[in-house]
Chain A
Amino acid sequence: QQQVKQSPQSLIVQKGGISIINCAYENTAFDYFPWYQQFPGKGPALLIAIRPDVSEKKEGRFTISFNKSAKQFSLHIMDSQPGDSATYFCAAGDGSSNTGKLIFGQGTTLQVKP
């Protein structure tokens, strides 16, 4: 029940296209859903995050769509660029647990072709 399932494992998109990565969770206590971007040999960087009180959040070319009833959330990268090529991780956190822990998805390797 603590798992966060992420798909696809890898994704190839042409420059200018839309990249879509999906995540699903089981634990209804989760109330914080961040996305992280990680380049090879670097630590993950927080990209964008959403809480269940909204269904969508947009920051620049990055949008999170959140479906509370389906227990799913997704990351959309509009106008994908070669510089977006990285590994993306979704995660989920339970604020009521007071542990601060995040449960991470398996990761998606995105390649944007020029």
Chain B
Amino acid sequence: GAVVSQHPSRVICKSGTSVKIECRSLDFQATTMFWYRQFPKQSLMLMATSNEGSKATYEQGVEKDKFLINHASLTLSTLTVTSAHPEDSSFYICSAPRDYNNEQFFGPGTRLTVL
């Protein structure tokens, strides 16, 4: 299967700071990437669709000014959690479809803990 990486795998930060998470497609180009959030023992919640060369599309209820997404190249999307607060602590996962048939490959996830 295709490979998607995320960095960092874990991050601990103080309340009020910003954290950037990178998502890379290692062996294919992805014009679209997806960012999910997952709370313990819950399903994946789609936060936004990252589009290469254009603005991200956010799901209802997701604050675009808090979760900044940049898709600067065909292999890299970044999610920046701005002014993080303890309630932002979660498992953030990205995915990328390798082609246009919906088949998505997920990154290993980033565990964010905001103190």
Q: Answer whether A and B are interacting partners.
A: yes
Please state if B103 and A34 are interface contacts (CB–CB under 8 Å): yes
Q: Report chain B residues within 8 Å CB of A98.
A: 100
Q: Report chain A residues within 8 Å CB of B32.
A: 100
Q: In the complex the two chains form, what is the Cα distance from A43 to B44 in whole Å?
A: 10
Query: Which of A44-52, A54-62, A63-71, A78-86 is found at the contact surface with chain B?
Result: A44-52
Residues 21-43 of A, flagged 1 when their CB comes within 8 A of B and 0 if not, give 00000000000101010000111
A13 within 8 A of B: no
Given contacts A43-B93, A100-B100, A107-B41, 16 further A-B contacts (CB under 8 A): A32-B103, A34-B104, A43-B6, A43-B107, A44-B93, A46-B104, A89-B43, A93-B102, A94-B102, A95-B100, A100-B32, A100-B34, A102-B46, A102-B104, A104-B43, A107-B42
Interface size in chain A (residues, C-beta < 8 A): 24
Number of A-B contacts (CB under 8 A): 63
Q: Report chain B residues within 8 Å CB of A109.
A: 41
Quick one: closest B residue to A92, CB to CB?
B102
Please state if B102 and A36 are interface contacts (CB–CB under 8 Å): no
Q: In the complex the two chains form, what is the Cα distance from A64 to B66 in whole Å?
A: 39
Q: Is the interface of B mostly helix, strand, loop or mixed?
A: strand
| Chain B interface residue number, banded | 20 to 34
Quick one: closest B residue to A93, CB to CB?
B102
Binding site for B on A (CB under 8 A): 32, 34, 36, 41-46, 49, 89, 93-95, 98-102, 104-107, 109
* Distance to closest chain A CB from B72 (angstroms): 19
